[in-house]
Amino acid sequence: MQVAVKRDKPELAAADVLVVFLRQEKSLPPKSVVAQLDERLEGRIRDYLESGDFSGALNSTVLVRTGGKIQTPRVLLVGLGKADAFKIDMLRQASATAATAVRRLGVSSLALLPPAMNPLK
> pLDDT (tens digit, 9 = 90+) per residue, 15-46?
999 999 999 998 898 889 999 999 999 999 99
Instruction: Give the Cβ contact number of residue 109 at 10 Å.
Output: 13
- Distance set, CA 8 to CA 19, 58, 67, 68 (Å): 14, 26, 21, 18
What value does the mean pLDDT of the chain take?
90
Cβ count within 10 A of residue 108: 8
pLDDT of residue 2: 55
Where are the chain's structural domains? 16-113
**Under CATH, which architecture does the 16-113 domain have?**
3-Layer(aba) Sandwich (3.40)
- b/e map 28-58, b = 16+ CB within 10 Å: beeeebbeebbeebeebbbebbeeeebbbeb
**Amino acid 73: pLDDT:** 97
SS3 at position 82: coil
For residue 8, the model assigns a pLDDT of 82
Give residue 120's pLDDT.
43
